[in-house]
Structure 1
Amino acid sequence: MAGRTRNSSSKRATLADVARAANVSAITVSRVLNHPDKVSDELKNRVQQAIDSLGYIPNQSASSLASSKSGVIGVCIPSLSNVVFNDVLRGIYQVAGEGNYKVLLVDTHYSPLEEEKMVRTLLSQSPEAMIITGGDQTRSCERMLSQANIPVVQIMETLEQPLDMNVGFSHYQAGYDVAVRLLETGCHTLGFIGARMDTRVQQRMNGFMAALQERDRLDSKLIVTTPQPSSIALGGELLRSVISASGGKVDGIFCCNDDLAMGALFESQRMNIQVPSQLALCGFNDFEASAYINPSLTSVHVPRFEMGVKAAQMILDQLQERVPANRQVDIGYEIVMRQSTAVV
């Protein structure tokens, strides 16, 4: 059967076509598209009806060249599959949308080199601002962002010397505080399990180890990590490794995220290890499920949605020539104590 052929007489609708259909000038259509807040609702509706009827698609490249503004905010995150970033992105999208900005999102796969490529790609689209994750950019990437002369917000961690603006929290201090809290619940022999081991996970681990070292409680054999991506199944495997390394003496484990912590919890149940009376478990990120499994999981809660909102708001403040109240914001965290670390 012959395939469907495109009508040779059809052509893409132009801005002039929209203007004729709405019975306004092309300049008026352009004003409606680029500055909808400056025109009446009646005019916006008339132009929108013409756009819908014609199937008109604005030429964003031409528009940005004419106005020197693209209306785009570039966002780089390490993984589109990691649910940790969902709440952050939700906050960014909410504020950007309210400000009539579009978000152009890329995945850097936890690779500084891939991030450098993606930043170059984003900058070629003339974004008005950028939101990027962390502070481990390559020198070339830092140089590109600096020379772009646009607002940049680094998120997810606090940085000593941000490129421009920064919203995050101290992963090192969070790891340190978890160790102290586990010791306070009565644990004596603490271990750590970590996966993927990006720079932020390493900071949590280093803080955890520092707290134990200060108290002469650190046993390096009980720090078990892997470059593999996190999963619930992997959490179970790493738990067995820590228990074996400790000779069964470990009584508290900090897991670098809730995936691993849930896997460790399920594996401990299969091994007939009682949580928390024999083994206390703490995760990180405080996923919704962590409060509902049995026993419920202690975890470090980070206000990720608020982080996304704050980062986007700082961008909009800069773009609208308002001075941000602070160029660096510590969004904080909370260790949410639940049944997996309850004092028996």
Structure 2
Amino acid sequence: MSTIPKSVRSRATGRTTLSDVARLAGVSPITVSRALRGERAVEASLVARVQAAAQELGYVPDPAARALASRHSAQVVVLVPMLSNALFVDLLEAVQRSLRPAGYQMLMGVTHYDAGEEESLLRELLLHRPAGLLITGLEQNETSRKLIAQSGVPCVHLMEAVQDESVYSVGFSQADAGAEMTRHLLQRGRRHIVFAAAQLDPRTLQRLAGWRRELTRAGLYQAALEWRNPAPSSMALGAEMFDAILQAQPATDAIFFCNDDLAQGALLAALRSGIKVPQQVAIAGFNDLTGSDQMLPALTTVRTPRGEIGSAAAAMLLALINGDDVAVPRLDLGYQLIERSST
């Protein structure tokens, strides 16, 4: 049974209000609001008194009321394509570590690589009057772009570095990373290099473009070397693709998989089939996911800075929310080719 005095509980709903906290602490409601927001102008003794009263009453601030009072909430909308990929989990953890000390919480949406679903999420989540937006990629449809622009909410795009001066972004060049891995395979003497892709999201297709560019320069490009599957990326699919590629094109001497989970599945398939990697066929991946360095042989891949991207994008967004200048509005954090024994 509650021990909170009836005199300090809301008669209308039974929910403890900011005014209830003010009465118990013996201060004004505006002082409670300022104290709980952490404003420096409030004396430490008053802050302690307000916090003690709030704790005793079990007071939880109403985010909707706070949003109406300040014209935006303490929430930041973060849209990612999926949660089954460790890449986006790492990114989200970095974003949260940056936002929470500044007093902001994530309001997350998963788009499933669907522009229509992304538009619906934006419509719904913008009703919460978020303080900012962090959105993966730049493939929004025209309606979503208008929603973002008309909302007036600061927005930073993740995972891609772009030259558009009207867009704030933090990422790296997916196409350049794909090209560098292809050059690595060419330098190792590989001439029949397949690009194997799943999911077929825009960033995967940018890596494909980089691979295609380098093979074309080397005079080795053939359309038949492109293996595309729209199914979600997985180790099982990687194993299936590996077997199918070698059966259809026995001359293949290297396979560049668009994701590490595909490449890990291919390495396991090669091990089961007795195919020697890299002696018979080199295998490369992308993203340097957990376990890639433990494969047999260890997987050559591209290490992407998803944690750093999350932290830097959150910092950029906080600067925009505070009205500060952003020195580098289009931040390219680069990538690193990690050469291991699979190539």
Both structures adopt the same fold (TM-score exceeding 0.5): yes
Of 228-237 and 59-68, more deviation after overlay is shown by 59-68
Aligned residue number for residue 277 of structure 2: 275
Alignment CA distance shift 1:184-1:122 (3 Å): same
Matched, 1:231 2:241: no
User: Which residue, out of 27, 47, 53, partners 1:24?
Assistant: 27
Aligned residue number for residue 154 of structure 2: 151
Matched, 1:112 2:115: yes
3-state SS of 1:132 partner: strand
Aligned residue number for residue 171 of structure 2: 168
Distance 1:10 1:198 in 2: 48
Alignment CA distance shift 1:217-1:105 (3 Å): same
Alignment CA distance shift 1:162-1:294 (3 Å): farther
Matched, 1:210 2:193: no
**Counterpart residue identity of residue 32, structure 1:** A
Note if contact 2:36-2:51 (Cα within 8 Å) is conserved in structure 1: no
Deviation per residue, 1:19-39 (Å, 9 max, x gap): 222232211111122344443
Matched, 1:98 2:97: no
- Aligned pairs for 1:240-279 (under 5 A) are 240-246=243-249, 248-279=250-281
Normalising by structure 1, what TM-score? Answer: 0.92
Query: What is the total number of aligned residue pairs between the two structures?
Result: 333
**Counterpart residue identity of residue 171, structure 2:** G
3-state SS of 2:157 partner: strand
1:166 to partner: Cα distance? 0.8
Alignment CA distance shift 1:108-1:216 (3 Å): same
Matched, 1:133 2:136: yes
1:149 to partner: Cα distance? 1.4
1:9 to partner: Cα distance? 10
3-state SS of 1:194 partner: strand
User: Which residue, out of 75, 79, 87, partners 1:76?
Assistant: 79
Aligned residue number for residue 63 of structure 1: 66
Alignment CA distance shift 1:41-1:273 (3 Å): farther
Note if contact 2:155-2:168 (Cα within 8 Å) is conserved in structure 1: yes
User: Which residue, out of 279, 287, 302, partners 1:285?
Assistant: 287
Distance 1:78 1:172 in 2: 19
Aligned residue number for residue 323 of structure 2: 321
Aligned residue number for residue 3 of structure 1: none
Structure 2 gap segments, 5+ residues each:
1-10
Note if contact 2:163-2:330 (Cα within 8 Å) is conserved in structure 1: no
**Counterpart residue identity of residue 310, structure 1:** A
Aligned residue number for residue 189 of structure 1: 192
3-state SS of 1:339 partner: coil
Distance 1:252 1:204 in 2: 16
Normalising by structure 2, what TM-score? Answer: 0.93
Distance 2:177 2:188 in 1: 17
Alignment CA distance shift 1:320-1:10 (3 Å): closer
Alignment CA distance shift 1:281-1:138 (3 Å): same
Distance 2:178 2:49 in 1: 57
C-alpha RMSD of the superposition: 1.7
Percent identical: 39
Matched, 1:301 2:298: no
